[in-house]
A and B are shown apart, each in its own frame.
Chain A
Amino acid sequence: MRSENFPVVEVKHLCKIFGSPGRGLKVDSPDLLEQAENNGAICAVRNVSFRVNHGEVFVIMGLSGSGKSTLIRCLSRLVEPTCGQVMIDGEEVTNMDEKQLTQFRRTKVAMVFQHYGLLPHRTVLENVTFGLKLRGMKVAEREEAARQAIQLVGLAGWEKQYPAGLSGGMQQRVGIARALVQDANILLMDEPFSGLDPLIRREMQDELIRLQEELRKTILFVTHDLNEALYLGDRMAVMREGAFVQVGSPQEVLQHPADDYVRRFVQDERRITQMVENSSKPAVVRSLDKARSLSAS
């Protein structure tokens, strides 16, 4: 839908350094990063700028240590950015005081974590209502909302269980329900499916696509898995050593890798696609032969 094409998330020149940038040096512009690094600071996010439109799934892909998790945490200031600007829904997150920030986290964004982050001493229902409880919503009201979200992620009937009794995939469904129930426009997902085994992962990816068709959220999705990025992303960014190497649609990245780094990444993917294409014919022929010989005997 064209009318929805306005940026909901806008990030300008975001940087994050860990460690001391050297005495007396205040890194307030990306130009000072090099100097800070020479003084022993570690640069996790390096002058990153991007926009995400309403209803879009934007995937940030990179290997571990590329700064992608730090970047997504900077958006809700779970990690305090060193410099740069984050605008979400027209509000400047990087300028908020403590109170505004709490309010912002309670209503505007919801996050899903790789390690689920569920409370072990609370039931599924209580975990899903957690965010609403923090807001001070009444019990009946928040449980009603939570039951709907639990239904939506296919966990109806499991409300009274504790997280330890659930498989990884189901725990992450609880994590997703907890995020959905917030009714926030923006979902931040930090490698939500990385801890799951491949079959469950694919199932969860399909589930996310289904939910997204229904709910039309703006999703920022972090992953180290190229397949996942290609499968889920409307647009994707490839991250390396804290910087964006390429931003574009999955097709663009696959067909026109911006540099050698991205090319090496997508090579395997292309090879697999080719292998599948080449092998599909003989495989079909083989199975047909097998079927024939079986019916003949």
Chain B
Amino acid sequence: MFPEFLHFHVAESIDLFVKWLTVAWGPFFKYFSNFILGFLIHIKDLLLFIPWWLWISGVGIISWWQTRRVITALSLMALLMTIGLFGLWTVAMETLAIVLTSVIMALIIGIPIGVAAAEFRQVSAIVKPLLDVMQTMPSFVYLIPALMLFGLGKVPGVIATVIYAVPPVVRLTELGIRQVSSSIQEAALAFGATRWQLLREVRLPLAMPSILAGVNQTTMMALAMVVIASMIGAGGLGEKVLVSINRMAVGNGFEAGMAVVALAIVIDRLTQGVARHWQPPEGISK
């Protein structure tokens, strides 16, 4: 046994710190929370405002336009149809609204950090270990501070999701920029590009495929986390899964799970299609 007199706990100090935060910064968190909630509700209203048939045909058209494959387009439409058939349409839109809100926040935070990490070695040195911690930390742990600062509901769900989903886009943004061919960068410098011009004209556009792969990954991570976030009352499909588990309702659980998978596949294919459009052109085009 580890001797008891050597025990040293940080739990209490962390509790105190979070308590202090909620008291001293309460109004700030309140304001912030309302802002996110407002944003979230707008997105949800928008998603539900679009009728289901328009959604399904819209996804079909976009998919066909991206891939020119009828089978891909039809499969994606069928997947969305399944969600509706299971009677989970509204709930799925609720989940999608949380995912979209979280992803937008994660990108607003993540892409600039990734760019900064690629531009400045010091930033990279700080960010890297932080990302490692964020990715190895069990996702449930994020729920605790989010819960304490924002209470139960959708907002802490969004916060936890953002924290969980931000690492891939940061990493892939940095990686993409660092992988830009040095001979192209040298040519740009030789013609008198400033650092800012180099970033805007060369590094960012050439890193775009990698950045979009990061966006795709971040979206997938967000979708995974939203299900877990239902434990603190984020609602949506995750809640259905949670309720099914509690009631041992295997069938209901399967339906909700399938709906999550369907959403994931559709989002994944569509974002990948966008990424492909950013690949530098090959071959002759007339």
Give me the interface of A with B, judged by CB distance under 8 Å.
76, 78, 102-107, 109-111, 113, 115-121, 130-131, 133-135, 160-162, 164-165, 178, 182, 188
Contact = CB atoms under 8 A, between A and B. Distances in A.
Contacts of B281: 120-121, 162, 164-165
A134 B192 CA distance: 7
B192 A106 contact: yes
Interface in B124-160: none
Query: What interface size band does chain B fall in?
Result: 20 to 34
A138 B280 CA distance: 25
A160 B205 CA distance: 18
Given A162-B280, A162-B282, A102 B192 contact: yes
Given A121-B280, A164-B280, A130 B188 contact: yes
A130 B186 contact: no
A120 B188 CA distance: 13
Interface of B: 183-184, 186-194, 197, 201-202, 205-206, 280-286
Contacts, number: 85
A160 B191 CA distance: 22
B282 A134 contact: no
B205 A165 contact: no
Contacts of B194: 102, 134
A139 to B, nearest CB: 14
Contacts of A105: 189-192
Contact of A115 (B183, B206, B282, B284): B183
A235 B283 CA distance: 40
A120 B206 contact: yes
Contacts of A135: 192
B184 A165 contact: no
A134 B197 contact: yes
5 contacts: A78-B190, A120-B184, A165-B281, A165-B282, A165-B284
Contacts of A102: 192-194
B192 A103 contact: yes
Contacts of A76: 190
Given A78-B186, A113-B186, A131 B282 contact: no
Nearest to B202: A119
A106 B282 CA distance: 29
B190 A119 contact: no
